[in-house]
Amino acid sequence: MKSLLLSLLFLIPNLSHATITIQSVGGVSYFEQDTNKNFKIYGGMTGTVSGVNAVLNCVGESATTCDSCAASTSTPAKACNKSSVYGSLKISITFSSSVALSSAKIKITTDEGDSSTSEAAEYALPTSTVTAAAGENKTVTIDWGYLCAHDTHFTNTCLPNPGNSPEWSFNNTSRRIYLYVDQNGDGDLTDTDEKVSIEAKLHYINSNTQANNEQIFCNSPEEARTNGALGNCGYILGIGDSKFYLQQLFGSSVAGDGTAPAKSSLAPDWYGLALIAYDAGNVGLIPSSANFQIRAYDATFGITDNTVTGLNNYQNYCLLMGNINKAQNIYKFNITGADPLKTCGQPSEVIGLLSDKSCFISTAAFGSDMALQVQVLREFRNQFLLTNSYGKAFVKAYYRYSPPIAHFIEHSEILKALTRTALYPFIAVAWLAVNFGILPIVCGFLFMLSALYFLLKKRRAVHA
């Protein structure tokens, strides 16, 4: 009898501290998990409107998200989502219990309506009980349509209500999924330790709305704020070997200063940038179906990897930048007013130790590939040398023979000074060509030749 009482006393604290732990989730566009294993899930989707009825841009087979970008082949680019949710998509919730479960009752609910004061009728699970060893993972599923059906902003198929909404989200901004597991087997699910929840966010974008698809290309944070830009709207383009890179980003805040770029009140927080380098004459000719390279923000809202890789040297590309939020909706592309001189270029081969520094001798002379003089020469190369076969041949020869000279120069301050002096006339010519075109340079050169010719002719006449 004494041993039985001791066993019961030992069992009671174990039951009182029994816990349900969410291990993973699926069937979502994106999720976050904190150190306490609290999950927040995001669903994103884009659609079009026919009359007053909305139609999602993609719907899958209920087991996986779908890619609405793949079918978006028209130009200019339109809002899309590479991991879109839809009404019949199953959200999988994998959980475990710290105690063994024997035909334990389970149920799933969500908030009823647009507040969290009451819960909706429970979701119809295939089975209402679960059996599992302590710590064993079990999975239950519900569909997105169940969540949408209990929110006034959506129909039970997760179409926006009203259908012509340009942008929509759950009206209940605190919507949650509630999972109940009867851990003590008493048939009662009211115990506080038998309930866990997952926060759920849904964001819809109408891809027929031009203001969702594009915004004005900006050249500074001040310009972004003046234009009411959302996310980032501009950049300074860097060009390297088989790649582009973003030298600087422009949005309503300074990238990397810890302040998030502006967003709409309905949208979830920004996730990062979606970048497409595409062989086109301008960014307005790039479709959403092209290959995105996603770059996530760091904690300061800068991007650690600022490169777009996998490009062919000496081939023209333009760089389209879209903004992607945590629902994985990609929109607000930098299209309107984008200058091809600022958004397009040709990657070129770089050889030797100073890789990524596109002007070897000049870089060694001026100490940095970001020096203004080096950037002027790089712009001249991109605009005037890489646009014709003779110029490309010159650039290739320069890359072949320049590195050993650059290595020799960079270790001597005297040689650096002499090289800078020798380069300044070429830099001046390059600056004039980049800013005013090649014709004024040719005219100026012919004028100087003519002046020199007449001066020499006059001197001969005097001495005769």
Please state, in angstroms and as integers, the Cα–Cα distance from residue 12 to each residue in 20, 124, 189, following that order. Answer: 17, 32, 18
Q: Is the pLDDT of residue 464 over 80?
A: no
Q: Is the pLDDT of residue 409 over 90?
A: no
The rounded percent of the chain whose pLDDT value lies above 70 is: 92
Neighbours of 450 (CB within 10 A): 10
Please state, in angstroms and as integers, the Cα–Cα distance from residue 53 to each residue in 56, 144, 216, following that order. Answer: 10, 19, 29
- CATH 2.60.40, the chain: domain bounds: 213-345
Q: Is the pLDDT of residue 198 over 60?
A: yes
Taken in order 287, 223, 309, 390, the sign of the CA dihedral is: positive
CA distance 94 to 26: 9
Strands in 220-292 per DSSP E: 232-240, 243-251, 270-278
- pLDDT, residue 437, reads 81
Q: What is the pTM of this model?
A: 0.77
Report angle CA 419, 425, 428 to the nearest 5 degrees. Answer: 120
CA distance 397 to 377: 16
Q: Is the pLDDT of residue 268 over 80?
A: yes
Strands 195-206 and 39-50 come out as parallel
CA distance 44 to 40: 13
The amino acid present at 351, given as its one-letter code, is I
Q: Which CATH number fits domain 213-345: 1.10.287, 1.20.144, 2.60.40, 2.40.128?
A: 2.60.40
- pLDDT, residue 15, reads 46
Backbone angles phi, psi at 164, to 5 degrees: -95, 20
- pLDDT, residue 342, reads 92
41-76 residue pLDDT tens: 999 999 998 777 899 999 999 999 999 999 999 999
CA distance 123 to 179: 10
